[in-house]
Chains A and B, each alone.
Chain A
């Protein structure tokens, strides 16, 4: 459980630090004095209101990623506890997983390029980045399916050994998260596809940034999972 506790300690640390920052030295019972740190221009500390507000969707994405971290940390904890038992028979990781990892890195790179294109207001760049990113994600999932197939062909069924069970469950869960991401990406795609000028979509392109963050996060999750799968 130490991995869960570690993850949780980080999340809780952030929450408690944030709460203390907001609440120490505040005297809520003093009527009417604004209790927020506000500069002379009337802007809340740390928030540049006019140009780049912290959107609700970004906060919600952060929350969702915390939930996902919790799920994967719990699975990895269960994994490392289970590994200690005598009957653990590691399964040979197909070499294909290395190729898939490279593909997943490319997904992140393409989505990141779309995000950079947003900043440069380059409409074509956004479209190309999103298209290649989603294609690569599909390729990754097909690759994972092929890896499963190879393992099943060589007789490593899910119920054969706990190592197999964890391998299939974790890879499936990771792919499921990417699938959910693809749905969100499809919505983002729909928003930008018909646009001819960048100005048409200026208020909607924040979705591209959210997709980028999401993919980076699940690349990191995959990196951790893959390290674990290799070292058993």
Chain B
């Protein structure tokens, strides 16, 4: 699991070509469906189960990278 791979998963989740770490996860793009799609993608690609509260609380793409790479 690399930062670039997670950024691509975030991009796929919100249906854009690419994102960077500074992306702000506002309500327009980071709704309950996006959270579930992101959790599912991380589980399918890496077998990791993320804490939904952590994903819900994330403010930026960097937060999601940190949560995803935690304990690796």
A and B co-occur in one complex: no
Interface set of B (CB-CB < 8 Å, partner A): none
Interface set of A (CB-CB < 8 Å, partner B): none
